[in-house]
Amino acid sequence: MKGLFVKDLYLLSKQKNYVLCLLAISVFLLFRANNATFVSSYMTILGSFLALATISYDELNHGRTFLFTLPITRSMYVTSKYVTGIVICLAAWGLSVVFTGAAMAAGRISSSWEEWLLSCVMFLGVGFLFDALMIPIQLKFGADRGRIVLLVVMLGCVFLGMTAGNMIQKMQLDVSGPVAFLNGLSPVGLGLLAAVVVLAALAVSWLISMGIMRKKEF
């Protein structure tokens, strides 16, 4: 699996000019818009997108077919994609923390340190959840159709959320209990709950991806 991870890093190194351009845009937005939250989310999600690009590269010229002629199992391949996604997401998030933290220290951003730290941690979880959602979609549908499926899934989530909200209002359901529970959690407790949710999402996503790869023929 180490070889697969190194391969993915090598493929991403071919995009260094693109990455440098994105970093320059991030720095410009940071000092132009003075919005640390936006820059943190922007860089973290872009890191997740970069990791997903390795799946597209593997599909080119039957590259995945060649990979499986080597002593590589489908389990190793799937796991390597999650490792790559987590590492690249962490790297992009780390850069966003450095950039926005430096801007905060220089007084370029008016947000409090507590708000900044909370937003950074939150968007790291969002990046992991994005990988958990997109890796199975990419493996199942490929890059082009995967984008369409992602759009459909996001619109579906928005629709379900709006429908659920309307139903709660019309049926006058009491949701004060869960809300009070979340409000009563300390920042550490809330962080631990979020970590459990993210880890559970990654585990379920990995199992789905394994099922997809077992059914694929190359």
Tens-digit pLDDT profile for residues 31-80: 776 666 777 788 888 888 887 888 888 877 677 778 777 888 888 889 99
Report the alpha-carbon distance of residue 84 to residue 51 in Å, rounded.
6
Distances in Å between the alpha carbon of 170 and those of 69, 140, 177? 58, 38, 18
Question: At 218, is the pLDDT very low, low, confident or very high (cuts 50, 70, 90)?
Answer: low
Asked if pLDDT for residue 182 goes beyond 80, the answer is no
Distances in Å between the alpha carbon of 16 and those of 9, 13, 28, 58, 117? 11, 5, 18, 18, 28
Share of the chain above pLDDT 70, in %: 80
Residue 57 in tokens: 């590269």
Residue 9 in tokens: 């890093």
Report the alpha-carbon distance of residue 165 to residue 65 in Å, rounded.
46
Q: How many C-beta neighbours within 10 Å does residue 57 have?
A: 18
Sequence-distant (6+) residues with CB within 8 A of 45 are: 123, 126, 127, 130
